[in-house]
Amino acid sequence: MPAVDVVWTPRGFGQTARRDWWWLQPLAVFLGLSTFFVYANWAAFQGNHYFWGPYLSPFYSPELFGESPHAWFGPKPDWWPSWWHYSPAHLILWAPGMFRVTCYYYRGAYYKAFWADPPSCTVGEPRKHYLGEHSFPLIMQNIHRYFLYCAVFILACLAYDAWQALWFTDPSTGHRSFGVGLGTLILITNVVLLSGYTFGCHSMRHLTGGRLDRLSESSLCKKAYDCSSCLNRRHMLWAWMSLASVMFSDIYVRLCSMGIWSDWRIF
């Protein structure tokens, strides 16, 4: 084979030979994640209107200490500093938040969208050296597998909340009866979408697949691995749908609690 010398010319920031709309995806990611980040922080700081009837906002679940009937250990603890505004979401939201921040898919998406590293494939980036995830601070992203355990626990809590959302209390008699409202369906859908996202996690595949570079011999592990791999093929889609559903679930519960929306009781 004859060898051909190719001269490599470094590209300046944003330079590319691409003629497609390569900037559209990072822009959409930037807008989508920024919207969610601003809304989630605003909602978490409110500390009110996070429950209505049998519904509990997923931003506040599990509610460890709080004023709602869903609180596990009673009202706001005495040791909470008086100068710091209390919201039950502050105690738990760091776990699902870090699970998303360290997710392999989101990493690739926000590296491009937020600090242009690179802006897109074959598009010039604003720095000369690529340190990658083998050095500090990005090596810390490997903590993702541990946040998976937290995410599975929170998912179990949200599934329990969805079950609770099937039981309505009659305010006049205090009697609880089985029923389905639009809020129930929204909270159940949220659990389904979050399950698709969480169980399709790369770390879940490693967890179910076996050890090191060999698949487990157990047929149960193989089935779990196949199932996780199947969900993983659409991980990006699950990531965005579950992000939107968590946000919409909070909006729905909040607006019902504020009296702006009325829950539609199906039966």
Instruction: Rule CB under 6 A: choose which of 49, 76, 202, 206 binds ligand FES.
Output: 202
Nearest Cα to Cα of residue 159 among 188, 199, 201, 193:
188
Q: Identify the sign of the CA torsion 51, 54, 57, 61.
A: positive
Instruction: Rule CB under 6 A: choose which of 104, 111, 248, 261 binds ligand FES.
Output: 104
**Residue 206 sits in the site that holds ligand FES (CB under 6 A):** no
CA distance 110 to 101: 9
CA distance 67 to 47: 9
Question: 16 in the Ramachandran plot: left (φ > 0), alpha (ψ -120 to 50) or beta?
Answer: beta
**Residue 109 sits in the site that holds ligand FES (CB under 6 A):** no
**Residue 23 sits in the site that holds ligand FES (CB under 6 A):** no
Instruction: Rule CB under 6 A: choose which of 93, 109, 201, 243 binds ligand FES.
Output: 201
φ, ψ at 55 (rounded to 5°)? -90, 140
Min dist. Cβ of residue 244 to ligand FES (A)? 16
> With CB under 6 A as the contact rule, which of the stretches 4-12, 79-87, 98-106, 184-192 interacts with ligand FES?
98-106
Min dist. Cβ of residue 132 to ligand FES (A)? 17
Min dist. Cβ of residue 138 to ligand FES (A)? 15
Nearest Cα to Cα of residue 126 among 23, 9, 15, 8:
15
Q: How many residues bind ligand FES (CB under 6 A)?
A: 8
Q: Locate tokens 């959302």: which residue?
A: 165
**Residue 105 sits in the site that holds ligand FES (CB under 6 A):** yes
- Contacts to ligand FES by CB under 6 A: 103-105, 144, 201-203, 235
